[in-house]
C-alpha cells in the first residue's frame, strides 16, 4: 500500500504538490502549494474552454507532476500524458460513449493502467490528483468516460501495451465558462446525496453522526464533493473505530453488466469513481494531520444488497 502508517508528518505533507512524490519531482515544484481541500472546493466539471492553448509554464508543471504519478495506492502501475486536442474531438467523444458536450478543450490528459485487481480504483486516484494539480494552475478539467482503447486518443498517447487499458480521459484547457453556479449548487448540496445516505457507523443500519468524528468530517465532505460518472456518487463509507471501510454501491442499469457498457465496452467507471473518492478522503485527512494507510481486508460487515460490494479500508491511528 502506498503510504505506510508510519510515514513522517512532514511539514506540507498533505499539500497536493508534495504528497507521495519522490524527492526529485518534489524538488522541482517550486512554490506551488495550495491546500487540497481548497482545490477540491474549486474544481468542477468545466465543459467550455477558451481557444488559447495552455501556457508553457503550466504545461511543464503539469507534465512534471504527472511523471510522479505512476504507482497507485493499491499496487497498480499507471502512466499519464498531456496530448493536444485535434479537430473533430468533440464529436469523436460522443461516438466513444461520453455524454455532455465538451467545447473547445485544447488538450486531454490521457493515461494507461496495467491490468491488476484494483487497477481502476488506482487510475481514478492518480488521475484525480493530476486534476487537482491542474485546478491549482487555474485550469479547467472534465473527466470523460468512454471506449478509448481503440481511439485516436490512444494513438496520440503513443499506444498501449497489451496489458494496459485506458479507462477514462480528462479534457483540459483555459476556463471558458463560469463554474461559480455549479460550485454553489454543489456546496449547497443540491447536486449531491445527503451524508446520511452515504456515511455509516459500524454497519449500514446506522447513520454516521458527523458531529462526533472530529476533523474526519472534513475528509468526508471532500468525498461528497468528488466528481463521479453521471454524478451517481456510488461511494458508501462505514466507520468502525479507526477503520473507514469504503464500499461501492452500483447504480442499476449503469456501469458493469449494463447493456450500454457491455456493447460499448466502457470501463467499469464506478470503480474509477471509488478511486477518486479515496484520493479526496486521503488528501484532506493528511492535510488535517491524520495519518493512515489503505488496506484491502473485507471486514465482513453485512451488505445492504447485492448491488453493494466492499472495496478498501483506510486505517487511521487507533
Q: Which of 19, 39, 44, 122 binds ligand FMN (CB under 6 A)?
A: 44
Tracing cell 455532455 back to the chain, one arrives at: 100
Q: Given the complex with ligand FMN, which of 183 and 213 has the nearer CB atom? A: 183
Q: Which of 19, 37, 98, 129 binds ligand FMN (CB under 6 A)?
A: 98
Q: Which of 72, 227, 275, 292 binds ligand FMN (CB under 6 A)?
A: 227
Site for ligand FMN in 54-93 (CB under 6 A): none
Task: Report the chain's terminal Cα–Cα distance, integer Å.
Answer: 18
Does 182 bind ligand FMN (CB under 6 A)? Our answer is: yes
CB of 10 to ligand FMN, least distance (A): 30
Tracing cell 469523436 back to the chain, one arrives at: 92
Does 121 bind ligand FMN (CB under 6 A)? Our answer is: no
Build a one-symbol-per-residue string for 229-268: x at contacts with ligand FMN by CB under 6 A, - elsewhere. xxx-------------------------------------
CB of 167 to ligand FMN, least distance (A): 8
Does 110 bind ligand FMN (CB under 6 A)? Our answer is: no
d(CA 109, CA 84): 9
Does 228 bind ligand FMN (CB under 6 A)? Our answer is: yes
CB of 158 to ligand FMN, least distance (A): 23
CB of 226 to ligand FMN, least distance (A): 8
Stretch that binds ligand FMN, among 97-105, 150-158, 255-263, 301-309 (CB under 6 A): 97-105
SS (H, E, C) the chain: CCCCCCCCCCCCCCCCCCCCCCHHHHHCCCCCCCCHHHHHHHCCECCEECCCCCCHHHHHHHHHHHHCCCECCCCCEEEEEEEECCCCHHHHHHHCCCCCCCECCCEEEEEEEECCCCHHHHHHHHHHHHHHHHHHCCEEEEEEECCCCCCHHHHHHCCCCCCEECCEEEEEEEECCCCHHHHHHHHHCCCCCCHHHHEEECEEEEECCHHHCCCHHHHHHHHHCCCCHHHCCCEEEEEECCEEEEEEECCCCCCCCCHHHHHHCCCCHHHHHHHHHHHHHHHHHHHCCCCCEEECCCCCCCCCCCCEEEEEEEECCC
Does 99 bind ligand FMN (CB under 6 A)? Our answer is: yes
Which triple of cell numbers denotes residue 237? 463509507
CB of 318 to ligand FMN, least distance (A): 32
Does 145 bind ligand FMN (CB under 6 A)? Our answer is: yes
Does 100 bind ligand FMN (CB under 6 A)? Our answer is: yes
Q: Given the complex with ligand FMN, which of 29 and 166 has the nearer CB atom? A: 166
CB of 22 to ligand FMN, least distance (A): 27
Q: Which residues bind ligand FMN (CB under 6 A)?
A: 44-45, 47, 98-100, 142-145, 168, 182, 186, 227-231, 269, 272-273, 276
Amino acid at each position: 500500500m502506498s503510504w505506510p502508517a508510519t510515514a513522517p508528518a512532514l511539514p506540507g505533507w498533505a499539500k497536493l504538490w508534495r504528497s507521495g512524490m519522490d524527492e526529485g519531482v518534489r524538488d522541482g515544484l517550486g512554490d506551488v502549494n495550495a491546500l487540497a481541500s481548497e482545490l477540491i472546493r474549486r474544481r468542477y466539471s468545466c465543459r467550455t474552454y477558451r481557444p488559447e492553448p495552455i501556457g508553457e509554464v503550466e504545461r511543464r508543471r503539469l507534465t512534471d507532476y504527472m511523471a510522479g504519478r505512476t504507482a497507485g495506492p493499491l499496487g497498480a502501475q499507471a502512466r499519464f500524458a498531456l496530448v493536444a486536442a485535434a479537430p473533430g474531438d468533440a464529436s469523436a467523444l460522443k461516438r466513444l460513449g461520453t455524454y455532455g458536450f465538451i467545447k473547445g478543450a485544447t488538450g486531454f490528459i490521457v493515461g494507461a493502467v496495467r491490468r491488476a485487481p484494483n487497477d481502476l480504483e488506482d487510475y481514478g486516484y492518480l488521475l484525480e490528483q493530476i486534476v487537482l494539480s491542474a485546478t491549482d494552475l487555474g485550469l479547467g478539467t472534465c473527466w470523460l468516460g468512454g471506449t478509448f482503447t481503440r481511439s485516436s486518443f490512444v494513438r496520440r498517447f503513443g499506444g498501449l501495451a497489451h496489458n494496459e487499458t485506458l479507462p477514462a480521459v480528462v479534457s483540459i484547457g483555459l476556463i471558458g465558462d463560469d463554474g461559480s453556479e455549479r460550485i454553489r449548487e454543489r456546496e449547497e448540496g443540491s447536486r449531491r446525496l445527503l451524508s446520511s445516505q452515504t456515511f455509516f457507523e459500524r454497519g449500514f443500519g446506522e447513520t454516521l453522526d458527523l458531529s462526533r468524528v472530529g476533523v474526519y468530517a472534513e475528509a468526508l465532505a471532500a468525498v461528497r464533493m468528488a466528481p463521479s460518472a453521471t454524478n451517481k456518487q456510488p461511494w458508501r463509507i462505514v466507520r468502525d473505530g479507526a477503520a473507514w471501510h469504503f464500499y461501492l454501491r452500483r447504480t442499476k442499469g449503469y456501469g458493469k453488466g449494463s447493456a450500454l457498457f457491455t456493447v460499448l465496452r466502457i470501463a467499469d467507471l464506478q470503480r474509477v469513481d471509488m478511486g477518486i473518492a479515496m484520493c479526496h478522503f486521503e488528501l484532506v485527512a493528511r492535510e488535517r494531520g491524520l495519518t493512515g494507510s489503505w488496506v484491502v481486508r473485507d471486514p465482513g460487515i453485512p451488505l445492504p444488497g447485492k448491488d453493494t460490494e466492499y472495496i478498501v479500508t483506510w486505517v487511521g491511528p487507533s
